[in-house]
Amino acid sequence: MALVTMRQLLDEAAAGGYGVGAFNVNNMEQIQAVMEAARETNSPAIVQASRGARTYTNDRFLIHLMQAATEVYPEIPVALHQDHGNSPETCFSAIEIGFTSVMMDGSLLADGKTPADYEYNVRVTREVVERAHAVGVTVEGELGTLGGVEDGHGSGIVELTDPAQAVDFVERTGVDALAVAVGTSHGAYKFTRPPDAEVLAMELIEDIHERLPETHLVMHGSSSVPRDLVDKINRYGGRIRETWGVPVEEIQRGIRHGVRKVNVDTDARLAMTSAVREVLAEDPEEFDPRKYLTPARASMQAMYAERMRQFGQAGHAGDYEPKSLDDMRELYASGAATRA
């Protein structure tokens, strides 16, 4: 099976009332862990790469790793998504090498740090939509800004999404999916206490979903920062400070109100690091990367599989016949792809 578009995965998720985890990758082991978890749970999958990941892995290595994934796991519909594209040019380069979905994050300027004004966001997002839809590629936009900085991206300022403005944004840009800011943050240090309504405004998702019932909503910064993984890292020599992530129950609440894509990165980093630290702490003489990357991959797979089950995507990989980019291009051209 070739890579498929994220738009179809989210359309099917909306029809089935579930969410789809979008997992950031930087290397072969992470891609293998995502795909093994998808096979284990019979789930569709979204693999996403940031600009930093593309630089670290190299575009040609990344695209060939993903092509290998489609060959080894032909039963899994999988989309390759550009996470937090900082400019139209970044999104266009992703499309050119074979990404089937891109995010134009016009909430920030091209430096990935400075908050942008609304009209700038509309203009650059619409530019990407026009180019992407012409070749069948999905586009995610963002309105509002998240806290924290991850992989060099983020202003560190939380600006919650305005529900009324969200309606205007979707109408003017034609995005397939909308990332909303409800108080979540990038990175491990999201909250200094268990999050409540004062810091996590889940009611905004409910409001936006009521206004835009056909729009696919996206939650960024949605790692749950499992306490057992943090404790394990610290037990084997790490120094992760006390922190709280987004409770799975709150993500599930979002899914009941239109959230179809859930971004998870930090949880995988914690899973991988905890396993590596354990091996090296228990056997300080070990130097064979396979000895610590194998359990690291297994730890990530277990985490991904757990999220796939919690988000409701498990069991849905074979529900539908995947559409090609040409199929999606024709649907966009005909106006038939009207969700969002």
List the catalytic residues.
83
Write out the DSSP string of 105-134.
Answer: -TTB-TTSSSBPPHHHHHHHHHHHHHHHHT
DSSP track, 43-57: --EEEEE-HHHHHHH
Q: Using an 8 Å Cβ cutoff, are 49 and 62 in contact?
A: yes
**Distance (Å) of CA 52 to CA 77, 86, 138, 197, 266:** 25, 11, 21, 32, 15
Alpha-helical regions (H) of the chain? 6-16, 28-41, 51-57, 59-72, 88-97, 118-133, 163-173, 202-211, 227-235, 248-255, 266-282, 289-311, 325-334
Look at residue 18 and give its three-state secondary structure. coil
N residues, the chain: 340
